[in-house]
Structure formats: structure tokens, C-alpha cells
């Protein structure tokens, strides 16, 4: 998956209401470098993979914010179980799905589940 070559200011995450829409009622905001890097690495390393998961409700909506003047990357996240892959999909796109490694799933789980 691709992101802009700009500094990410904050990653906002909400509980998803379903594929095709972005829940703007933010549940978590991550603005520290370590957390941002986890999201950035998970997204950038995700590889395209055919999946029927987009017929199910995503777990989270992820909004990657670069600051004023730049678009927000809106991404659906199906968070995998521990040591499993997660699935990502751009909100705007043709429905392609991308998978992360289990390493990034574990890091994302640590961020998102410790906050609840």
C-alpha cells in the first residue's frame, strides 16, 4: 500500500460502521512517533492479496493525517488474531485488499487493544 511522502501528524482510529464509509467518531488518536511508525510500516509493507473479507464489517477505520493542505488516507482494518495477518483496504478504491505480516498485526493489536 502507498502513503504520501509527507510527515504523518496523527493517526486517528475509530470503530468501523462498515465497509464503504468512515466513522469519524474517533476512538483513538496516535500522535507519538513510535505509534505512527507502527501504522506507517504496517500500511507500507502490506501487499495486495485477493480476499473476500471486504464482504464483512471491518474492525477499525484508520485515518492517516498529514496536516493541513494534504488529503487524509482513509483505510479499513480487519485486525487479525495474535500471530495472524491483518487485512487493509483503502476506503476509496476498487476494493483491493492488502495483508500485513503477523509481526505488524501483533504491534497493531498491542496499540489498539491496550487502549480499550
Give pLDDT, residue 51. Answer: 77
With 90 as the cut, is the pLDDT of residue 115 above it?
no
What DSSP element (H or E) covers 8?
A: none
Q: Could you read off the pLDDT of 70-109 as tens digits, one per residue?
A: 999 999 999 999 999 999 999 887 778 999 999 999 999 9
Which whole number is the average pLDDT over 56-69? 93
Candidates 51, 61, 69; CA nearest to 27 is 61
Give pLDDT, residue 53. Answer: 74
Give pLDDT, residue 113. Answer: 87
Q: SS3 for 29? A: strand
pTM, to two decimals: 0.91
Give pLDDT, residue 15. Answer: 96
Spatial separation of the C-alpha atoms in residues 99 and 97, rounded to whole Å: 7
Which whole number is the average pLDDT over 55-62? 92
Amino acid at each position: 500500500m502507498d502513503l504520501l511522502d509527507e510527515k504523518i501528524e496523527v493517526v486517528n482510529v475509530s470503530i468501523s460502521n462498515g465497509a464503504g464509509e468512515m466513522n469519524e467518531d474517533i476512538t483513538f488518536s496516535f500522535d507519538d512517533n513510535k505509534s505512527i511508525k507502527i501504522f506507517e510500516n504496517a500500511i507500507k509493507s502490506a501487499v495486495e492479496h485477493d480476499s473476500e473479507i471486504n464482504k464483512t464489517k471491518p474492525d477499525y477505520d484508520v485515518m492517516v493525517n498529514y496536516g493541513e493542505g494534504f488529503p487524509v488516507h482513509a483505510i479499513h482494518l480487519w485486525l487479525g488474531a495474535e500471530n495472524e495477518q491483518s487485512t487493509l483496504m483503502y476506503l476509496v478504491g476498487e476494493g483491493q485488499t492488502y495483508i500485513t505480516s503477523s509481526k505488524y498485526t501483533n504491534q497493531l493489536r498491542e496499540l489498539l487493544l491496550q487502549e480499550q
